Amino acid sequence: MRKTEKNRNSSFGMGVGATSILMVFVLLCLVVFAMLSLVNANADKKLNDRLANRTKTYYAACDKAETLLEDMDSRLEQLYLENPEAEAYLQACLSYLDGAGGVAVREEDGMGVRFSFSVIISDEQHLSVVAAVPKNPAQEGHYYRIKAWQTMARQAWEPDTKLPVMESEMPALLMPE
């Protein structure tokens, strides 16, 4: 009978030590996942702040460009009213655009005059606007037509073509003789 009592008292399963180790492991996993979530949320917040700042500066530059175009439009309207003939209007536009600060006259063709200007967005980017003044502008609209409105880099991109490999640090076995 002693044999059967011994079999009944012993149970198959984990003891108190194994359960404690399992609980510590689960708790450690939860702490690690919580820390990873916190780090990820912080990185997302920083990225979101940078994107919000970039968007804010872009729209500030757009607002500045639109204000400049609005001022130009009112001046072009005055020039058109003063010079109703197409050739005289184009000559007046050329002299006005040449004297306007920051505006570059790009070309003059038979249809009108193209001009461009840029507004700084950040240290790396600027907003480039290209517009045309037609020879015969529409009476109920703007006295210019926008041809291009794009964000451009302020400096040319130069790829890094160097690969820093130092032969002197290679083990003597790997170096060819």
Between 44 and 88, the higher pLDDT residue = 44
DSSP code at position 18: H
Alpha-carbon span 71 to 122, nearest angstrom: 24
Let me know: does 107 contact 93? Beta carbons within 8 Å.
no
The more confidently predicted of residues 168 and 16 is: 16
Distance CA 38, CA 44 (A): 10
DSSP H helical ranges for 2-128: 2-9, 16-82, 86-99
> What residues have CB less than 8 Å from 113, skipping those under 6 apart?
90, 93, 94, 97, 105, 107, 132, 133
Check residue 103 and give its pLDDT.
84
Q: What is the pLDDT of residues 127-139, one digit of tens each?
A: 999 998 888 877 6
Determine the pLDDT at residue 11: 57
Tokens representing 23 are 């609980």
Q: What is the pLDDT of residues 27-77, one digit of tens each?
A: 999 999 999 999 999 999 999 999 999 999 999 999 999 999 999 999 988
DSSP secondary-structure letter at 168?
G
Tens of pLDDT, residue by residue over 137-155, are: 776 778 898 999 999 988 8
What is the average pLDDT score of the chain? 83
DSSP-assigned letter for residue 139: T
